[in-house]
Structure 1
Amino acid sequence: MNVLGLALANVRALRRRLYGLVALVAVAAAVCLAALGIAGRAQGATDSGVTQSSANRSVTVDRPADRPDTPQLTDRTAARLAALPHVASVQHRAQVSFGVLTDAGDTVLLYATTYRPALPPPVTKSVREDLFPLRPGEIVAPAVSQGVDLGALVGKQVEIETTRFVRPGEGTGVTGHARLVGVYDPTWQLDNPDAAYAADATVIKWAADRAGRPEKTYLSGIGYDQLTVVADRAENVPDVMRAVQDLGYPAVTLQQQLDALPAVLEMIRTVGRVLLGVLAVLAFAGAITVTGALSRQRAQEIGVLKAVGFRTRAVLTMLVTEMALVGAVAALAGAALGALLAAGSAAVLRDSADLAPYVEDRLPLPAPGTLLFLLGLTVLVVAIGSLAPARKAARMSPTEAMKDW
């Protein structure tokens, strides 16, 4: 029988003593594979979804309050910005406050906001699938605002109160009605913690009434409070931002506003590396412990092998091969367990509206090449861990090995 066949026979005979090592390495490998798989798929989703999304290609242009020589954000300004190189579109935002009166007598102060396709709110409940563009008289509010649950009002007519200009510093309330057609996750606050989206015509009318300006001349006089310039590609965003700033407008990219995102992704990758290190340490320490213990228990067997002509190298190869086979079994078991763990973790994460886009895959394991590398690395670490105690056992003389030590 060759060394490989002998090692395989020994593993079968000693399988009960090896269950502990197999379980230890398999569990560590499963956790590592699941974490790396979810982190890798999250990174891939970010690269493919976020990098070229209209949100990540957007440049936010605010009203030039401290620059009187710079024109306001009117339709003419929007057309001027749209003519800049690498600009795909310009989307406007206007806001005006209004109150929503609930059946319980609560008054919730919200800010009617024009909808921008580049920055869609994460709608959690609505009366129809394609909610935008909104129709006149419709609003979409945060699910919870100022402690009031607005989700229960979806689909209902709500009483609202807007403000009409009377004289400088004075206005009068105007009561009306609107239909709440949807609510969004209140943690999404890019437009304002209490932004409520409405049709453009509705927002402009309320804003003009509040400012005491004719609705037809409001945009040409006061204009929008913010414009969103969307670049054609993510790599052109810095050039577009500089071009906007050269015109005298304060501008910032959403990439700058979301600068915490790369840090989060780096943290996920770091956790994966730490888990990989933990797997290596556990596999290495387990192999040393188990190989040393088995070598002491099998001293007489080793002595017999040396007595019948097995050389030190052959005995060493047999012992290390045994541990390599154990490592292979543990790696395969870890891969199967890791697949179950990854699938379960992904299912749990998909229940979160914020995390669901990053774990769309049912089985978020690493790429096949990475998976094979990790499995091979597990086997290699176990084999290396067994090398020192195996060498010590293989170097024993037949006489010494036959002793009960």
Structure 2
Amino acid sequence: MTFYRLAAANVRSMWRRFVGLVALLAIAVAVCVTAFAVSGRAQEAADRRVQEGTANRSVTVERLTGRHGAKPLTGTAVRRLADIRHVASVQPRAQVSFGYKGPGAPGALLYATTARPALKPPVTRSVRSGLFPLRPGEIVLPERAQGNDLSALLGKKITVQTTHAEGAGQGRGAAAHIRVVGLFQPSWQLDGPDAAYADDTTVVRWAAAKAGVPADQYVRTVGYDRITVVADSADHVGKVLHSVQAKGYSAASLQQEMTALPGVLKLIRATGRILLVVLGLLALIGALVVTGALARQRVREIGILKAVGFRTRSVLAMLITEMAVVGACGAALGAALGAAGAAATAAGLRDRPDLGPYLADRIPLPGATALCGVLLLTIAVTVLGAYLPAHRAARLPPADAVREW
């Protein structure tokens, strides 16, 4: 019988002695697998949703009114920006004021804004799914504006007041009709307070009337007040920003304002490393204590093996193999418990609206590399912790073993 088979037989016959270490390793591995599974999936989702999200790939180009040499954001500017390398889309924004007065709203001054796909407002209620892009004559209002509750207007065709220019500094009010097809959270103010989102044709027509120019000439002469340039990947945002600024436009990227995000993702990775260190220490201490105790209890067995011809190296290999088998059993059990724990944790957190999008998988599992790393580390550290007491026991002379027995 080889020492490998002898080690396996010893583990089967003395399994009660190894239950404590197996349980300790299983719990430690389960905690690590659960944490890796949940945090790993959350990190991947964060990378996808935030790092590669449309908003994080956007560069905002502002129109600098009143500044000498500032370039207007006309249709020509849109085409020039679209020709920049690594640009996925160019989304211009126009904005014009309008007034509404009706039941429940004594008076509200809002700003019709073109809806950009890169920065869509968080719609809370709508008349249909797939609200964007808006159809001609449609508008999405904030739920509340200037103390007025506008939620009752959903689905209704309302009359609003726009401005038509009649001369330098002069204008008259004009009625316009538009249908409310959605409501969004009033806290969304990326386009300023009291913004409302209408279809492009309506916004340009109202803005042209206020500026006193024909609607078909507004984009060519007056132009937009802002343009959003979306890069094809997060890695190319810096290059796109540099190219936009090199063409003489005032631009900034949302990515510049999110410098704290990489630190958050690094914190998630650091937490995983800390868990690995804790797992290693638990396995090391557990193997050291258990192997030392078993070696002291098995002095007679070791002495008999040495007396019948087993060399020190063979006895050491047997004891180390036993602990490797125990470590493998603990790691395998911990992996199964960790998968169950990850599924339960994800199920509990998935109902939360702020965490649900980051835990889309029904049974989140850590990556194959991370899982294999945890299992191999558990076995390796268990063997390492067992080496010193096993080596001391294996070197025990047969006469001393018989004498101690």
Give TM class, smaller chain. Answer: 0.7 to 0.9
Question: Retained in 2: the 8 A contact 1:36–1:269?
Answer: no
Alignment-mate amino acid for residue 157 of structure 1: K
2:311 alignment partner in structure 1: 311
* 1:384-399 equivalent positions in 2, closer than 5 A: 384-399=384-399
Report the Cα offset of residue 215 of structure 1: 6.5
Report the Cα offset of residue 70 of structure 1: 1.6
Question: Retained in 2: the 8 A contact 1:101–1:159?
Answer: no
2:374 alignment partner in structure 1: 374
Question: Retained in 2: the 8 A contact 1:154–1:181?
Answer: no
Q: Aligned-pair RMSD on alpha carbons?
A: 4.0
2:266 alignment partner in structure 1: 266
* 1:199-238 equivalent positions in 2, closer than 5 A: 199-205=199-205, 207=207, 211=210, 213-214=212-213, 216=215, 218-232=218-232, 234-238=234-238
2:6 alignment partner in structure 1: 6
Alignment-mate amino acid for residue 10 of structure 2: N
Question: Retained in 2: the 8 A contact 1:29–1:338?
Answer: yes
Question: Retained in 2: the 8 A contact 1:163–1:173?
Answer: yes
Inter-partner Cα distance in structure 1 for 2:34 and 2:76 = 53
Inter-partner Cα distance in structure 1 for 2:147 and 2:26 = 47
Q: How many matched pairs?
A: 402
Question: Retained in 1: the 8 A contact 2:327–2:382?
Answer: yes
1:179 alignment partner in structure 2: 180
In structure 2, the residue corresponding to 1:346 is in which secondary structure?
helix
Q: Evaluate the alpha carbon distance shift between residue 360 and residue 144 of structure 1 in structure 2; reply closer, same or farther with a 3 A threshold.
A: farther
Question: Retained in 1: the 8 A contact 2:95–2:113?
Answer: yes
Question: Retained in 1: the 8 A contact 2:104–2:148?
Answer: no
Alignment-mate amino acid for residue 127 of structure 1: V
Inter-partner Cα distance in structure 2 for 1:162 and 1:50 = 39
1:245 alignment partner in structure 2: 245
Q: Which moved more, 1:29-38 or 1:232-241?
A: 232-241
In structure 2, the residue corresponding to 1:227 is in which secondary structure?
strand
When normalised by structure 1's length, the TM-score is 0.80
* 1:55-94 equivalent positions in 2, closer than 5 A: 55-65=55-65, 67-94=67-94
Inter-partner Cα distance in structure 2 for 1:342 and 1:172 = 61
Q: Evaluate the alpha carbon distance shift between residue 79 and residue 285 of structure 1 in structure 2; reply closer, same or farther with a 3 A threshold.
A: same
Q: Evaluate the alpha carbon distance shift between residue 103 and residue 341 of structure 1 in structure 2; reply closer, same or farther with a 3 A threshold.
A: farther
Q: Which moved more, 1:271-280 or 1:361-370?
A: 361-370
Q: Evaluate the alpha carbon distance shift between residue 279 and residue 191 of structure 1 in structure 2; reply closer, same or farther with a 3 A threshold.
A: farther
* 1:3-402 equivalent positions in 2, closer than 5 A: 3-45=3-45, 54-65=54-65, 67-96=67-96, 111-121=111-121, 123=123, 125-140=125-140, 155-157=154-156, 164=163, 178-183=179-184, 190-192=190-192, 195-205=195-205, 207=207, 211=210, 213-214=212-213, 216=215, 218-232=218-232, 234-353=234-353, 355-402=355-402
Q: Which moved more, 1:45-54 or 1:163-172?
A: 163-172
Spell out, residue by residue over 1:369-405, the C-alpha distance to the aligned partner (whole angstroms, 9 max, x if none): 4422321221111111111122223333345445679
In structure 2, the residue corresponding to 1:90 is in which secondary structure?
strand
In structure 2, the residue corresponding to 1:118 is in which secondary structure?
helix
Spell out, residue by residue over 1:212-234, the C-alpha distance to the aligned partner (whole angstroms, 9 max, x if none): 64572554554322101234555
In structure 2, the residue corresponding to 1:365 is in which secondary structure?
coil
Spell out, residue by residue over 1:60-118, the C-alpha distance to the aligned partner (whole angstroms, 9 max, x if none): 10122463312322233223323444444321123346678898779887654311123
Report the Cα offset of residue 133 of structure 1: 0.9
Inter-partner Cα distance in structure 1 for 2:54 and 2:328 = 46
In structure 2, the residue corresponding to 1:341 is in which secondary structure?
helix
Q: Which moved more, 1:139-148 or 1:89-98?
A: 139-148
Inter-partner Cα distance in structure 1 for 2:382 and 2:160 = 71
Spell out, residue by residue over 1:183-230, the C-alpha distance to the aligned partner (whole angstroms, 9 max, x if none): 46x776644576543222333455567x56457255455432210123
Alignment-mate amino acid for residue 328 of structure 2: A
Inter-partner Cα distance in structure 2 for 1:198 and 1:13 = 77
Q: Which moved more, 1:292-301 or 1:375-384?
A: 292-301
In structure 1, the residue corresponding to 2:252 is in which secondary structure?
strand
Inter-partner Cα distance in structure 1 for 2:143 and 2:273 = 38
In structure 2, the residue corresponding to 1:70 is in which secondary structure?
coil
Report the Cα offset of residue 267 of structure 1: 1.6
In structure 1, the residue corresponding to 2:119 is in which secondary structure?
coil
In structure 2, the residue corresponding to 1:228 is in which secondary structure?
strand
Inter-partner Cα distance in structure 2 for 1:18 and 1:106 = 78
Q: Evaluate the alpha carbon distance shift between residue 7 and residue 191 of structure 1 in structure 2; reply closer, same or farther with a 3 A threshold.
A: farther
Question: Retained in 2: the 8 A contact 1:158–1:180?
Answer: no
Alignment-mate amino acid for residue 301 of structure 1: E
Inter-partner Cα distance in structure 2 for 1:253 and 1:50 = 14
Alignment-mate amino acid for residue 342 of structure 1: A
Spell out, residue by residue over 1:125-183, the C-alpha distance to the aligned partner (whole angstroms, 9 max, x if none): 54323211112453445678899998x76954387866648996999897976424254
Identity %: 52
Inter-partner Cα distance in structure 1 for 2:340 and 2:147 = 40
In structure 1, the residue corresponding to 2:117 is in which secondary structure?
coil
Inter-partner Cα distance in structure 1 for 2:399 and 2:153 = 87
Inter-partner Cα distance in structure 1 for 2:80 and 2:133 = 25
In structure 2, the residue corresponding to 1:375 is in which secondary structure?
helix
Q: Evaluate the alpha carbon distance shift between residue 87 and residue 304 of structure 1 in structure 2; reply closer, same or farther with a 3 A threshold.
A: closer
Alignment-mate amino acid for residue 227 of structure 2: L
